[in-house]
């Protein structure tokens, strides 16, 4: 189904207001969610909104909680997300990391006790559109077996790297947004439902053999880390480093239940625009590197290698022109929430982030 961007955003905003997210915060959160679908990241747009609404209604998250600073180390701050809306907390954390970077060259916020940030690339685009480079990551519940084991003990811990670049029509940044699993469970489900084999092995089947059968991986729960032992190690290192900087939970402390995935640890690092410039101004290096990438001999004639984020601007333009494709069930739920047709009971939360029922 195609929905105009403004209608998508406005409906989300009204639903957020019903859930108790107030004023400017509902406007910003709805924009960030709608932008994920606008940019083609449908797994992390409105598709996640019913789960968010359930977590608010159940009192697991607070609609009104805002992050607070718990320690300052100069260019690096430690925050508590206070179990408020994860996208608002992450957006505030990246904004603060940029302020710190503007002052110190480098800036960082490590945030404990926060909720799912939804689309990770959001915070990369936020930084790069403002002229900052950024590196950020989050941990998750345990959803990935470490290399050499069959049971989940790692998160897929998405990592984002963003680099500002000016295109002909405005910002055209490089934005990498990747989880540490080769395929997400959402992607596996989509392949199974279409009856298609994965293009490349995505995990192990019950017999311990690498397989392109998405359903077999859903059953075994043995999805493949990127780069096998390498992504397994990278995921572990990001988790531990993030939890230590944030003084927050590591993956081993997070319940393995996506309806309870909260109390996450996240890190936001920003580098100032000044530190990305040479004496001649912002260098053309990003554009020249892209040209070099495009000049590599393609496997399929006419389809050159792409840089991270390359499809985004095209997808965005198309969806703004023709309407944003949205998944039907979450859209219907959101419309009902916005119209007040679903009973919701936002719960007030104490300072420790626990629901007071």
For 187, other C-beta atoms within 10 Å of its C-beta total 16
For the CB of residue 73, give the shortest distance to a second copy in the complex, in Å. Answer: 3
Interaction of residue 130 with a second copy, rule CB under 8 A: no
Element of type H or E holding 338: helix 328-338
Token pair of 85, please?
Answer: 């809306």
Phi-psi region of 77 (alpha: psi -120 to 50; beta: other; left: phi over 0): beta
Out of 283, 314, 339, 341, which residue is the one contacting a second copy (CB under 8 A)? 283
Residues 66-85 that bind a second copy (CB under 8 A): 71-76, 78
Interaction of residue 257 with a second copy, rule CB under 8 A: no
Interaction of residue 255 with a second copy, rule CB under 8 A: no
Interaction of residue 206 with a second copy, rule CB under 8 A: no
Distance CA 356, CA 65 (A): 13
- Stretches 11-19, 41-49, 151-159, 328-336: which one binds a second copy (CB under 8 A)? 151-159
Marked catalytic residue, from 42, 44, 60, 91: 44
Interaction of residue 167 with a second copy, rule CB under 8 A: no
What is the b/e burial string over 21-52, where b = at least 16 CB atoms within 10 angstroms of the residue's CB?
A: beeebbbbbbbbbbbbbbbbbbbbbbbbbbeb
Map tokens 């049971």 to a residue: 151
- Stretches 17-25, 48-56, 288-296, 312-320: which one binds a second copy (CB under 8 A)? 288-296
- Minimum CB distance to a second copy smaller for 21 or for 217: 217
- Crossing angle of helices 328-338 and 49-57, in 10° steps, is 40
Element of type H or E holding 51: helix 49-57
Interaction of residue 352 with a second copy, rule CB under 8 A: no
- Minimum CB distance to a second copy smaller for 297 or for 328: 297
Q: Any catalytic annotation for residue 44?
A: yes
Q: Active-site residues: which are they? A: 44
């Amino acid at each position: 189904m195609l929905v105009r961007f403004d209608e998508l955003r406005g409906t989300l905003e009204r639903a957020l207001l019903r859930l108790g997210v107030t004023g400017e915060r509902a406007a910003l959160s709805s924009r960030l969610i709608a932008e994920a679908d606008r940019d083609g990241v449908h797994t992390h747009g409105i598709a996640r909104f019913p789960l968010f609404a359930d977590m608010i209604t159940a009192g697991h998250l607070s609609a009104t909680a805002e992050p607070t600073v718990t320690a300052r180390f100069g260019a690096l701050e430690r925050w508590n997300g206070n179990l408020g809306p994860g996208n608002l907390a992450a957006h505030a954390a990246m904004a603060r990391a940029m302020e710190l970077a503007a002052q110190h060259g480098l800036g960082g916020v490590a945030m404990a006790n926060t909720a799912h940030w939804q689309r990770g690339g959001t915070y990369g685009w936020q930084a790069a559109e403002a002229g900052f480079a950024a590196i950020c990551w989050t941990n998750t519940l345990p959803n990935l077996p470490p290399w050499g084991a069959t049971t989940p003990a790692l998160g897929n811990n998405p990592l984002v790297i963003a680099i500002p670049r000016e295109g002909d029509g405005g910002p055209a940044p490089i934005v990498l947004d990747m989880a540490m699993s080769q395929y997400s469970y959402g992607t596996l489900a989509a392949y199974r439902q279409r009856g298609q084999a994965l293009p490349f092995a995505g995990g192990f089947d019950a017999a311990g053999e690498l397989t392109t059968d998405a359903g077999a991986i859903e059953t075994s729960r043995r999805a493949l880390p990127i780069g096998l032992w390498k992504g397994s190690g990278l995921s572990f290192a990001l988790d531990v480093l993030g939890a230590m900087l944030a003084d927050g939970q590591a993956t081993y402390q997070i319940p393995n239940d996506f309806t309870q995935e909260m109390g996450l640890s996240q890190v936001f690092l920003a580098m100032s625009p000044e530190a990305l410039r040479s004496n001649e101004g912002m260098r053309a290096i990003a554009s020249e590197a892209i040209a070099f990438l495009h000049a590599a001999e393609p496997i399929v004639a006419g389809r050159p290698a792409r840089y991270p984020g390359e499809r985004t601007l095209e997808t965005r333009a198309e969806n703004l022109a023709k309407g944003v494709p949205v998944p039907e069930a979450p859209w219907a739920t959101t419309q009902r929430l916005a119209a007040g047709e679903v009973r919701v009971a936002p719960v007030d939360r104490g300072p420790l982030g626990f629901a007071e029922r």
